[in-house]
Structure 1
Amino acid sequence: MINGEKVIQQPIRWAMVGGGRGSQIGYIHRSAALRDHNFELVAGAFDIDAERGKDFGVNLHVSPERCYPDYKTMFEEEAKREDGIQAVSIATPNGTHYAISKAALEAGLHVICEKPLCFTTEEALELEMLAKAQNRVVGITYGYSGHQMIEQARQLIANGELGEIRIVNMQFAHGFHSGEVEEQNASTKWRVDPKMAGPSYVLGDLGTHPLFLSEVMLPNMKIKKLMCTRQSFVKSRAPLEDNAYTIMEYENGAVGTVWSSAVNAGSMHGQKIRVIGSKASIEWWDEQPNQLRFEVQGQPVQILERGMDYLYPQALADDRIGGGHPEGLFEAWSNLYTRFAKAMAALDSGEEMNDVWYPGIEAGVEGVRWVENCVRSADNGSVWVDYQHELSPSK
């Protein structure tokens, strides 16, 4: 159980790029990172407007001289300090992630980046090589994977409770962009701009979330081939899609689907994952994150509750407030930031961290790779394509 006691010797000196005033995701990053005293916010380049960013940083109790006009200046100036930053979180539009991540790694910093990590597998593999060469952690904020019941699902599958895995059904399909909301919403506007969002909208922005949940639960299942169809129901978003269906075949013979959509009118969030085995199935829905459906063939449905003693120890290790109390997104992100901190501290001290998983550089690479394969399939007439593991814009 997590109770706030230190899990690393000293808080990691930490900064943010982006996440300034008005950024919802910035507040989630800070709340998660600071909750367990694993990180200390000491610097930031919070806004493209330097004065606005400085004013915001001061209101977060960051020293004025450590509120920088841009990330390049921050990395240069912090490197001169004995108490300079050790890690940085990147909460900026997608099109900036690659350049900032690369600069941070070259500066010797650990990186926590919003997804997608970048736009092409070629860029992602370059960042992976750089992270390994620098011996730095790159964490990707697949925040839903920090929910306690995701770990319970992982352990149920690993222990054979479901039997042979046959089907994985995934979706992230909300309805908030069923109309042309980007005309009044700046944070949506860049998401449907190929220059800032990259080669996809909902495939990368939404579909990669349940995809990573499946990777956590089923770490040994690899995609063999896939077929994708994508649509722009709000026509002004073309060539980017606001709805997509992906069908996948895995190397072990299992099949999977991902429905990615921002036009599922009336749906609040609609993120679900259902894993079906030969003996039983499990289902998790992020709008009811404290429960996991466990359905054994021929038996009554079981609703497993977060924080209860019957869960696996690995799941209970992520518990914060005991059974019966609802936990939510902030707790999930805090669990993720705790994992990042442990990994960073271990690398810095030369320790092994074989018993702790987190969405690292490999998860970032795989998310980019999956989107590229989906786009390749959809743009070639929604055909089956062999799952290529190294793709670039020219392929």
Structure 2
Amino acid sequence: MLNGERQIPRPLRWAMIGGGRLSQVGYKHRSGALRDNTAYQMVASAFDIDAERGRDFGVNLGIAPERCYDNYRQLLAEEAKREDGVEVVSIATPNGTHYEITRAALNAGIHVICEKPLFFTSAEAQQIKALAEKKGLIVGVTYGFSGHPLLMQMRAMIAKGDIGEVRMVELQYTHGFNANDSADKFSDAQKWRVDPQVAGPTFVLGDISTHTFYISQLVLPELQIESLLCDRQSFIPSRAPLEDNAMVLMHYAGGAVGRMWASSINAGAMDSQCIRVIGSLASLEWSDANPGELKYQVQGQPNQVMHHGMPYLDASALADERLGALHTEGLAESWANIYLKFAIAISASQRGDKARLSNLIYPDINAGLEGVRWLENCVRSADSGSTWVNYQ
């Protein structure tokens, strides 16, 4: 169980690029990183495209004024001159800037934690992977839901054969907050998400389904997609060619099948993410609406609901527990867990601890690359008339 004790020799000197006062995700990053003050110390920032607003925000968070920079280039250049310069940056900017900023940070010798989807193309992701490996640096991706402890319980139970042979994988991430176009017109945080020049080739597939796709990889690390079919729609015409609704069918190696529904026009629905894995003996189901519960349904037996923090859980699930079974854990704890694993990975990289790195399960550059590949294949299928395509 985690209780805030240090997991690494000292806190990492950390900065944020983007994620300022008007950001939808900035506070998630900060609450995740700073939940354990033994893991990170926020020392610098380039929070906002409006430099004055970003500087004011940084000062209000307690960052020294001279380390609240106008932009990421200034941050990287000035921090490189300091003996106590930044060691890791979090990138919480629009999608189209991720590649440029990540490459610049790695070339400056700084580890990177980046929002998803990581980049526009898998070619860009492969280039960054090669650069990170050359520099000996970590690139992590903030799949913020993946730190919920019961996902590790799912992974362990599937690996032990508790549900038998995997037959079906059901994935869903939907909400209704874009059921009309008002946010597209008036919300700066939404406008760029429906602009292909900034968001990339997808809207809801990249914005939300990559979270659930990574969760499927986390709990089913051996299951590989062989082919898929993607059908996507722009129910708000002004969003075209970007989709606000998509259905994806998948065929996996070994015969299992899967499907994903991603939508931001599921009118009346709140944020709803679910994964159900159906085996030959039983099924497992988890939802972020009740992240502290895991449904275990054995054919012919009464349904079971497993609770977080209980001693009957696998050690890998209990290792990520923070509050105990009597208390509700949520998204803040999940973000804290992945940020702590990023810190452990960075510290291990700094110390040359290859054994620690090889045994650590967290959303790394490979997870980011797979997310981009998923999007590329979905777009390729949809744009060729919603046909089956071999997964490349």
Please indicate the TM-score interval, normalised by the length of the shorter structure.
over 0.9
Q: Deviations over 1:124-148 (max 9, x none)?
A: 1111111111111111000100001
* Corresponding residue for residue 31 of structure 2: 31
What is the deviation of 1:200?
Answer: 0.4
Provide the identity percentage.
57
* Corresponding residue for residue 324 of structure 1: 326
* Corresponding residue for residue 22 of structure 1: 22
* Corresponding residue for residue 109 of structure 1: 110
SS in structure 1 of the partner of residue 25 of structure 2: helix
Tell me how far apart the structure 2 counterparts of residues 277 and 128 of structure 1 sit (CA, whole Å).
34
Q: Deviations over 1:210-251 (max 9, x none)?
A: 110010001011110101010000111000000000001111
SS in structure 2 of the partner of residue 284 of structure 1: strand
Tell me how far apart the structure 2 counterparts of residues 257 and 310 of structure 1 sit (CA, whole Å).
31
SS in structure 1 of the partner of residue 311 of structure 2: coil
Q: Deviations over 1:62-111 (max 9, x none)?
A: 11111100101110110111000000000011111110111111111110
- Specify the code of the residue in structure 2 equivalent to 1:35: R
SS in structure 2 of the partner of residue 24 of structure 1: coil
SS in structure 1 of the partner of residue 109 of structure 2: coil
Is the counterpart of residue 129 in structure 1 residue 130 in structure 2?
Answer: yes
What is the deviation of 1:45?
Answer: 0.4
Query: Structure 2-normalised TM-score?
Result: 0.98
Tell me how far apart the structure 1 counterparts of residues 231 and 267 of structure 2 sit (CA, whole Å).
19
Within a 5 Å distance, the mapping from 1:241-252 to structure 2 comes to 241-252=243-254
- Specify the code of the residue in structure 1 equivalent to 2:179: S
Tell me how far apart the structure 2 counterparts of residues 175 and 167 of structure 1 sit (CA, whole Å).
26
Q: Deviations over 1:339-374 (max 9, x none)?
A: 001100001001122221100000111111110100
Q: Deviations over 1:31-56 (max 9, x none)?
A: 11011120000001011111111111
Is the counterpart of residue 374 in structure 1 residue 378 in structure 2?
Answer: yes
SS in structure 2 of the partner of residue 126 of structure 1: helix
- Specify the code of the residue in structure 2 equivalent to 1:370: W
- Specify the code of the residue in structure 2 equivalent to 1:263: I
Q: Is the 8 A contact 2:54 2:70 kept in 1?
A: yes
* Corresponding residue for residue 119 of structure 1: 120
- Specify the code of the residue in structure 1 equivalent to 2:375: V
Within a 5 Å distance, the mapping from 1:260-271 to structure 2 comes to 260-271=262-273
What is the deviation of 1:24?
Answer: 3.1
* Corresponding residue for residue 338 of structure 2: 336
SS in structure 1 of the partner of residue 374 of structure 2: helix
- Specify the code of the residue in structure 2 equivalent to 1:76: A
* Corresponding residue for residue 312 of structure 1: 314
* Corresponding residue for residue 287 of structure 2: 285
Tell me how far apart the structure 1 counterparts of residues 193 and 221 of structure 2 sit (CA, whole Å).
30
* Corresponding residue for residue 348 of structure 2: 346
RMSD (Å) for aligned C-alpha atoms: 0.7
- Specify the code of the residue in structure 1 equivalent to 2:288: D
| Count of residues in Structure 1 that have an aligned counterpart in Structure 2 | 388
Is the counterpart of residue 60 in structure 1 residue 64 in structure 2?
Answer: no
Tell me how far apart the structure 2 counterparts of residues 51 and 186 of structure 1 sit (CA, whole Å).
18
SS in structure 2 of the partner of residue 52 of structure 1: helix
SS in structure 1 of the partner of residue 247 of structure 2: strand
| Runs of 4 or more consecutive aligned structure 1 residues displaced over 2 Å after TM superposition | none
Tell me how far apart the structure 2 counterparts of residues 150 and 101 of structure 1 sit (CA, whole Å).
28
Tell me how far apart the structure 2 counterparts of residues 111 and 159 of structure 1 sit (CA, whole Å).
34
- Specify the code of the residue in structure 1 equivalent to 2:246: A
* Corresponding residue for residue 391 of structure 1: none
Tell me how far apart the structure 2 counterparts of residues 34 and 254 of structure 1 sit (CA, whole Å).
40
Tell me how far apart the structure 1 counterparts of residues 248 and 327 of structure 2 sit (CA, whole Å).
36
